[in-house]
Copies of this chain bind each other. A is one copy, B any other.
C-alpha cells in the first residue's frame, strides 16, 4: 500500500482535523454532542435566511463531500467512515445546525446505508425540533440498474449539489430547492471505468483484486461490478464504450446542450483525462450535441483507484443559471 497515513483506524478523524485547519477560512467542525465530530460546517451557514443544504456520505471520495461546503455551495457535509454511511445522529445534528426556519434538504448518493441513516436523521429533526427535511438522492450511474430510482450516485452528485445549493442561495423555498435538485438529477448521467482497486487503510491493501493491466467498464466507486472486465484498451476505445450507454440512456439527442465532467477516480492523471475529454468532444460533435462548459479533474474519487468517469448534464436555461452561480468552497470556486 502506497499511502501516507498513521493509525488506519484514525484516518477519518485525522483527515477532518487537517481539513478544518487547512481550510479554516471556509469551514469548522462541529465536535459536540450528536454531531460526533463528523459535521463539516460552512462559516457562511445561517448567515442568510435560506434553505439549509446538507450533503454527505462515506469518506474516501474526497473532494466529495466536504470539499463542496462553502459560500454559495453546501452549508454542511456529514462525514461517514471510509465507504460507510454517516450515522443518523450527525445527520440529525446537521439539520439543527443549518436550519434557519426554511427547512433543509439532504442530498447524497443513492446507497442503502445512506438512505437509512439520513432518513432516520430527517425523522428525528421533524419529531424533536419540527424541522422539515426533504431528501433528493442522486442516481446518475447509468449501468447500476435499469430502474432509474435504484441507481447509485457517483460523480454526477457534484452537479446536483451545485444546482440545489445555488437555488437555495438565491432565496428559493424548500419545494423549489427540491425541484431544482430533482431536475438536475433527472438529466445527469455518468459512467466510469476502473483499472485498479482503491487501497483500504484498515486492510492495508486493495479492497478487491484486479489483475494488473485489466480494466472494468462501468465499475462503481466502491468497486461495485461493472459490465465487462478485460485488458486495458486505448483511451478512445474506452471512452466510446462509456459514451454509448450514457448517450442512449436519457437519451441525449441532436441539438442538446450539455455540461461535461471527465472525473479522475484518484490515480488517473490530468494528462490522461484530457486525452479522454478529446474523444468525448469528438463524439458529441458527431452527434450534434453542444458542449456548454466542461470540468476535468478529480471531483469524486475512490482514494487511489485508477480510472475515470464521464458525466453529461443536459442543460436548460435554469440549470445553466444554477451551475454558473458563483460559489467559493475549498474544492470549487467560481466567479
Contacts A67-B270, A333-B334; A275 near B6 (Cβ below 8 A): yes
**Which residues from B are CB-within-8-Å of A120?**
none
Q: Using an 8 Å CB-CB cutoff, how does the interface string of A296-310 with B read, 1 for contact, 0 for none?
A: 111001011010100
Q: Residue of B at shortest CB range from A267?
A: B267
A301 to B272, CA, bound (A): 13
Q: Do A60 and B271 contact each other (CB < 8 Å), given the known contacts A21-B281, A22-B277?
A: yes
For residue A3, which residues in chain B have a CB less than 8 angstroms away from its CB? 232, 268-269, 272
Is A59 interfacial (CB-CB < 8 Å)? yes
> Could you tell me if B276 and A2 are in contact, using CB atoms closer than 8 angstroms?
no
| A272, B5: Cβ atoms closer than 8 Å | yes
In this complex, how many residues of chain A approach chain B with their Cβ under 8 Å: the count is: 69
**A25→B273 CA distance, assembly (Å):** 18
A236 within 8 A of B: yes
- The distance from the CB of A142 to the nearest CB of chain B, in whole angstroms, is 19
Answer yes or no: A62 CB below 8 A from chain B CBs.
yes
Q: Is A221 an interface residue (CB 8 A)?
A: no
Q: Are A270 and B62 in contact (CB under 8 A)?
A: yes
Instruction: For A275, give its contact among B14, B267, B333 (CB under 8 Å).
Output: B14
A4 touches B276 (CB 8 A): yes
Expressed in whole angstroms, the Cα–Cα distance for A107 and B261 within the complex equals 31
A326 to B334 Cα, complex, angstroms: 11
Q: Establish whether residues B304 and A268, one from each chain, have CB atoms under 8 Å apart when the complex forms.
A: yes
Contact of A62 among B262, B269, B304 (CB under 8 A): B269
- Closest B residue to A82 by CB, please name it: B271
The interface bits of chain A over 252-269 (1 if a CB of B lies within 8 angstroms of the residue's CB, else 0) are: 000000001010001111
Name the one of B14, B25, B275 contacting A15, with C-beta atoms under 8 angstroms: B275
Does A111 reach chain B (CB closer than 8 Å)? Answer: no
Whether, in the assembled complex, A150 has its beta carbon less than 8 Å from a beta carbon of chain B, the answer is no
Is A196 interfacial (CB 8 A cutoff)? yes
For A6, give its contact among B212, B234, B268 (CB under 8 Å): B234
Q: Point out the residues of chain B lying under 8 angstroms from A306, CB to CB.
A: 2, 267, 304
Cβ-defined contact, B267 with A19, below 8 A: no
Within 8 Å of chain B (Cβ to Cβ): is A17?
A: yes
Taking the complex as formed, is A48 at the interface, i.e. its CB lies under 8 A from any CB of chain B? Answer: no
Which residues on the B side are within 8 Å of A235 (C-beta)?
A: 4-6
Q: Besides A1-B232, A18-B277, 20 other CB < 8 A contacts?
A: A5-B235, A5-B275, A11-B271, A15-B271, A15-B274, A17-B278, A18-B276, A18-B278, A21-B277, A21-B291, A21-B294, A22-B262, A22-B296, A62-B270, A63-B297, A266-B267, A267-B267, A269-B303, A269-B304, A270-B301
Q: Could you list 5 A-B pairs, sorted by A, with CB under 8 Å?
A: A2-B212, A3-B272, A18-B273, A19-B277, A269-B303
